[in-house]
Amino acid sequence: MSPLASLLLADGRLPVGSYTYSAGLEPAVAAGLTRDRVPALLRARLRTVCVTEAAATVLALRAGGLGEADYGAVQRALAARTPTEPLREASVALGRGVRRLARRLAPRHPAVTGLPSRPYRPVALGALGAALGVGEEELARVAVYDDLQAVASAALKLLPGDPLDSAAWLLAAGPDVEAAVAEAVAVRTPGGLPARSAPLTEEWALAHAQRERRLFLA
């Protein structure tokens, strides 16, 4: 099941609410980001939030394979490294969507039954990966790809242009994706989770939360 499962989890059409999330692009556009700077935003995310969240996903995957899964330490470590409340709430909203899917696909698997009611998205994704037998590198790559794809897909709505650019942006990011995956898999404990928040991303998210007209959660 693992190869098919990793493709399933990386599919943007998966019904877990990811279409509501721009991975920081909408707040960035509101702050003045232009289309030509989207690749730079992707590179910045690959060096910051993508590494942190992919590492948390892998830690949750490992916890899910230990029988009675306990995600508390990963949840707390991830919360401490996501200082802005709107970003934490967005992660919980997405995490609950993944949890709902996990409870449908593997309702009795210990990795799934151990999930809290409000898991952060990386934790829920790690639990589902454990239930479906996805490997560490595969799942870390899914986590990173999903973040980049969220930006690229949102750009079609927020910064209209040639849709083929989105594919080009993702392929150009390939080497940095693999570096982020390797770094994520190397993390062994929740205490070693990288603290890679980006100050501008946090500032933009706070401003975005106060806007009345929004297309995306964050």
Q: According to the model, what pLDDT value does residue 65 have?
A: 86
Query: Is pLDDT at 19 greater than 80 in this prediction?
Result: yes
Q: According to the model, what pLDDT value does residue 200 have?
A: 87
Q: According to the model, what pLDDT value does residue 1 have?
A: 64
Higher-pLDDT residue of 13, 187: 187
Angle (deg, nearest 10), helices 121-132 and 49-64 = 40
CA distance 9 to 12: 8
CA distance 129 to 142: 10
**pLDDT band at 196, cuts 50/70/90?**
confident
Of the chain, the percentage scoring pLDDT greater than 70 comes to 100
Query: Is pLDDT at 13 greater than 90 in this prediction?
Result: no
Render pLDDT for 75-100 as a digit per residue (tens, 0 to 9).
Answer: 999 999 999 999 999 999 999 999 99
**Lowest mean pLDDT, pick from 64-68, 123-127, 141-145:** 64-68
Q: According to the model, what pLDDT value does residue 97 have?
A: 97
SS3 state of residue 19: helix
Q: What is the DSSP string of 44-103?
A: HHHHTHHHHHHHHHHHHHHHHTSSS---HHHHHHHHHT---HHHHHHHHHHHHHHHHHHH
Q: According to the model, what pLDDT value does residue 75 have?
A: 98
The class (CATH top level) of 19-209 is mainly alpha
